């Protein structure tokens, strides 16, 4: 099938081309992000293949449908950037790659927790500058600390398993309980209890209207002073301006982000020769107790292999008219 691949980076091309020999699709790679301005590139392509910061709002989907596209193949698990209702109305099929490597994201989450706690980035810069002082590098032992996991799906569950190995007390909040987590000793509690009792809070639920800005000023006020907040899920789960106020007051003691609500125009690009215009991100970068990575939690060889293979198989299923287990339908919307 003729596929327009948007937001292509060299690594996307490498992995998709390597595995495409088994599928034989006609992949045409575009570096551009899919937006209202760039969607004309997809004219006459039956499928478009997109990533997390491509915009699939109703205008873009209508234009794609008018121009002959009938399949949207996401190279991601999250699909908050797709207007699923409009896609359904237009008869567009949307497929994704659920759980391509939950270990990648879970391990990165724990890397952020450890680096923040033991001030690894500060220590690294200090030592390189010949400064061997320990002032300001004091950490705490994770053993015995309470970690609140918001969302115990594929990723949250692995975070629970890893932190169980550290000897943490694990609390979780999720509308559906996971039996493996329960047998590990994870205690499902109300959001209120999780927020008020946790030393570390880590977010692993999807971005949906119900979870948009779930971490806001009122919720932060219920947290422990000095709490560590980690978000490797989706940026808009957090109201960033409220988090900045909480960092200034000391209410939040540590912040680890792999995602940012306004990341679309920034992340995945080398902007090192430009002036960053986003004052909120610029303020975040001034705090010594904040670590930000640029949506790299997924970025492992294993994950790229799985993304490429599953995406190509999803496209083949659609082409052959076979049911595809990775199709996003109304059922997922209701969850
Ligand atoms: P999943 O669907 O397996 O699990 C999500 C869990 O969240 C489910 O158990 C669900 O019941 C729960 N949930 C739903 N609404 C909730 C709410 N209001 N409060 C608490 N829990 C709620 O998803 P996953 O594979 O574990 O991925 C989680 C998120 O991680 C994705 O939605 C995606 O946004 C993000 N992600 C980020 C990266 C990255 O590179 N940073 C990579 C992959 C996925």
**Residue-by-residue DSSP string for 157-221:** HHHHHHHHHHT-EEEEE-SS--HHHHHHT-EE--HHHHHHH-SEEEE-S---TTTTT-B-HHHHH
pLDDT at 334 exceeding the cut of 90: no
189 φ, ψ to 5°? -135, 175
Same domain, 96 and 107: no
Catalytic residue among 33, 96, 234, 261: 234
As given in the structure block, the two tokens for residue 204 are 């692993």
**pLDDT value for 333:** 47
Residue 218 neighbours by CB under 8 Å, 6+ apart: none
Strand ranges of the sheet holding 227-231, from the earlier edge strand across to the other edge:
187-188, 169-173, 146-150, 200-203, 227-231, 252-257, 290-292
Rounded to an integer, the average pLDDT of 303-323 is: 97
Scanning the structure block, which residue is given the tokens 């009792």?
A: 197
Same domain, 153 and 234: yes
Q: Is 263 one of the annotated active-site residues of the chain?
A: yes
pLDDT at 331 exceeding the cut of 70: no
Same domain, 139 and 116: yes
CA of 156 to the centre of ligand 1 (A): 7
**pLDDT value for 79:** 94
Rounded to an integer, the average pLDDT of 212-224 is: 98
Q: To test the ligand 1 pocket, which listed residue (51, 77, 198, 264) has its Cβ within 8 A of the most ligand atoms?
A: 77
Scanning the structure block, which residue is given the tokens 């939950």?
A: 102
Same domain, 146 and 253: yes
As given in the structure block, the two tokens for residue 262 are 């306004």
Q: To test the ligand 1 pocket, which listed residue (106, 204, 294) has its Cβ within 8 A of the most ligand atoms?
A: 204
**pLDDT value for 335:** 36
Residue 319 neighbours by CB under 8 Å, 6+ apart: 1
Q: Is 234 one of the annotated active-site residues of the chain?
A: yes
Q: Which residues line ligand 1 (CB under 6 A)?
A: 77-78, 99, 102, 105, 150-156, 173-176, 204-207, 210-211, 232-234, 258-259, 295, 297-298
Portion of the chain with pLDDT greater than 70, in percent? 98
Residue 283, H or E segment: helix 279-284
pLDDT at 332 exceeding the cut of 80: no
pLDDT band at 99 (very low <50, low <70, confident <90, very high): confident
Catalytic residue among 25, 119, 204, 295: 295
Scanning the structure block, which residue is given the tokens 């699909």?
A: 79
31-67 confidence digits (pLDDT tens): 999 999 999 999 999 999 999 999 999 999 999 999 9
Rounded to an integer, the average pLDDT of 272-292 is: 96
Same domain, 143 and 170: yes
Contact 34, 12 (CB under 8 A): no
CATH number of the domain at 84, please.
3.40.50.720
CA of 209 to the centre of ligand 1 (A): 14
DSSP character string of 12-64: HHHHHHHHHTTT--EEEE--SPP-TTTGGGGTT-SEEEE-TT--B-HHHHHHH
Contact 186, 174 (CB under 8 A): no
Same domain, 246 and 272: yes
The sign one gets for the Cα dihedral 240, 173, 333, 49 is: positive
Same domain, 89 and 151: no
Contact 34, 42 (CB under 8 A): yes
155-201 confidence digits (pLDDT tens): 999 999 999 999 999 999 999 999 999 999 999 999 999 999 999 99
Residue 120, H or E segment: helix 120-128
* Domain of residue 201, residue span: 102-292
Residue 2, H or E segment: strand 2-5
Same domain, 157 and 188: yes
| DSSP-based three-state secondary structure for 322 | coil
Same domain, 94 and 218: no
Phi-psi region of 268 (alpha: psi -120 to 50; beta: other; left: phi over 0): left
CA of 105 to the centre of ligand 1 (A): 11
CA of 283 to the centre of ligand 1 (A): 27
pLDDT at 272 exceeding the cut of 60: yes
**pLDDT value for 193:** 98
pLDDT band at 329 (very low <50, low <70, confident <90, very high): confident
Please state, in angstroms and as integers, the Cα–Cα distance from residue 35 to each residue in 9, 32, 143, following that order: 17, 9, 46
Same domain, 140 and 205: yes
234 closest CA partner among 155, 169, 124: 155
Same domain, 26 and 37: yes
> What's the domain count of the chain?
2
pLDDT at 287 exceeding the cut of 80: yes
Same domain, 306 and 264: no
Q: Is 295 one of the annotated active-site residues of the chain?
A: yes
């Amino acid at each position: 099938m003729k596929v327009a691949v948007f937001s292509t980076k060299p690594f996307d091309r490498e992995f998709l081309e390597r595995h495409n020999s088994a599928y034989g699709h006609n992949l045409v790679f575009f570096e551009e992000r899919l937006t209202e301005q760039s969607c004309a590139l997809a004219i006459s392509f039956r499928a478009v293949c997109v990533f997390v910061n491509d915009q699939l709002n109703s205008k873009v989907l209508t234009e794609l449908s008018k121009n002959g596209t009938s399949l949207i193949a996401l190279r991601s698990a999250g699909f908050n950037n797709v207007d699923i209702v409009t896609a359904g109305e237009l008869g567009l099929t949307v497929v994704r790659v659920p759980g391509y490597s939950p270990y990648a994201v879970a391990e990165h989450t724990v890397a952020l927790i450890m680096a923040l706690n033991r001030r690894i980035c500060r220590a690294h810069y200090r030592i390189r500058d010949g400064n061997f002082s320990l002032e300001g590098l004091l950490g705490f032992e994770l053993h015995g600390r309470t970690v609140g996991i918001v969302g115990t799906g594929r990723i949250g569950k692995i975070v629970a398993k890893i932190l169980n190995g550290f000897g943490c007390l694990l609390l979780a909040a999720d509308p559906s309980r996971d039996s493996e987590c329960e047998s590990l000793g994870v205690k499902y509690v109300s959001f209120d209890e999780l927020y008020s009792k946790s030393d570390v809070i880590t977010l692993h639920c999807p971005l949906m209207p119900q979870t948009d800005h779930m971490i806001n000023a009122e919720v932060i006020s219920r947290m422990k002073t000095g709490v560590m907040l980690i978000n490797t899920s989706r940026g808009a789960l957090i109201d960033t301006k409220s988090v900045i106020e909480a960092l200034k007051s000391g209410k939040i003691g540590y912040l680890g982000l792999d995602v940012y609500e306004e990341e679309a125009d920034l992340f995945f690009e080398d902007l090192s020769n430009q002036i960053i215009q986003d004052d909120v991100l610029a303020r975040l970068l001034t705090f010594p107790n904040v670590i930000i990575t640029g949506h790299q939690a997924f970025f492992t060889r294993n994950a790229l292999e799985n993304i490429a293979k599953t995406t190509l198989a999803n496209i083949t299923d659609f082409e052959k008219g076979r049911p595809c287990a990775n199709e996003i339908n109304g059922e997922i919307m209701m969850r």
